Structure 1
Amino acid sequence: MLYFFVKYLHIIAAVFLFGFGMGSYLYLIAAVRGRNPVVVAEVARLVVRFDTWVTTPAGVLQLASGLGMAYLAGWPLGSGWLRDALLIFAAVGLLWLPVLVLQGRLRHLAAAAAAAGQPLDEAFARQYRPWFWMGVAGFSGMFITVLLMVTKRSLGAWLGLG
């Protein structure tokens, strides 16, 4: 019964991690595409808030519950699929702090542009581009991690390497 409770927490954490994470990502992209610094500043403010207080704790719960399930099920952390999923999850996690920093900068630059009645400038674009591509990389990694967890096949098996 404990395993199923931990699995439930793991699934709920995944829903929050993906739901809030992807929602924040897409809302900020949509706001930036509108080029209105007032809107971008407000959306970025909310994205920073939700990513800090919802998405980040969901990621921590995701890892903790995943490790708990592995322990309860007796899965060795070195098994192919679990090792690969953990490595990709860690790589995605390493992108998270720079993403949060960049979101804060985007919020600040958009708010400054809005206060000055100016459009978003090249300084904003220089922060936005890496934020955007880190998001692409991060969500790609998360989709692969979920694939490995659901199928319990290693990345090498998926790539036909063994």
Structure 2
Amino acid sequence: MLYLCLKYLHVIAAIFLFGFGMGSYLYLIAASRTANPQVIAHVARMVVRFDTWITTPAGFIQIVSGYLLMKVSGLPMSTEWILTSLIIFLCVGSLWLPVLVLQKRLHGMALSAVETGEGLDAQYRSVYQKWFWMGVMGFAGMFVIVMMMVTKMTPMQLIEAVA
């Protein structure tokens, strides 16, 4: 029963981590495409808030529940799919703080543009591009991690099994 409760918690945390993260990402992309600083400032403020208070704690719950699942099931950390997913998770996580910082910068730049009545400049677009591509890399990693959670195989093992 403990295993099922931990697994449920792990899956719910994954849904929150992935769902809120992707939702925030897509909303800020859509807001940025309007080129309207007022819209961008509002959406960026909400994105930073959701990512700070919902997505980030879900990431910590993922680590704790994943570790406990591994212990309860008796699997060693050296299990290939677990070790690979943990490495990718840490890589994705290492993008997280810079992404939050960039989101706050985007918010500040948009808010400044609203206050001064000026448009968004090349610096905004530069920061946005960094944020966008870090998001692409992060979500690519998340897709791979979810695939490993479901199949219990590394990407190479899955490719070999299919071939």
TM-score category (smaller protein)? over 0.9
Unaligned runs of 5+ in 2: none
Superposed CA RMSD:
1.1
Residues 1:91 and 2:91 are matched in the alignment: yes
Mapped partners of 2:9, 2:147: distance in 1: 18
1:154 aligns to what?
A: 154
> Deviating runs (4+, > 3 A) in structure 1?
none
2:17 aligns to what?
A: 17
1:4 aligns to what?
A: 4
Mapped partners of 2:107, 2:152: distance in 1: 40
**Percent identity between the two aligned chains:** 56
Shift in Å, 1:159? 4.1
2:77 aligns to what?
A: 77
2:113 aligns to what?
A: 113
- TM normalised by structure 1 equals 0.97
Shift in Å, 1:156? 2.5
1:130 aligns to what?
A: 130
Mapped partners of 1:53, 1:158: distance in 2: 35
Write the letter of the residue equivalent to 1:137: M
Equivalences, count:
161
Mapped partners of 1:155, 1:69: distance in 2: 21
Q: Say which SS state the counterpart of residue 160 (structure 1) adopts.
A: helix
- TM normalised by structure 2 equals 0.96
CA contact (8 A) 1:84 1:155 kept: no
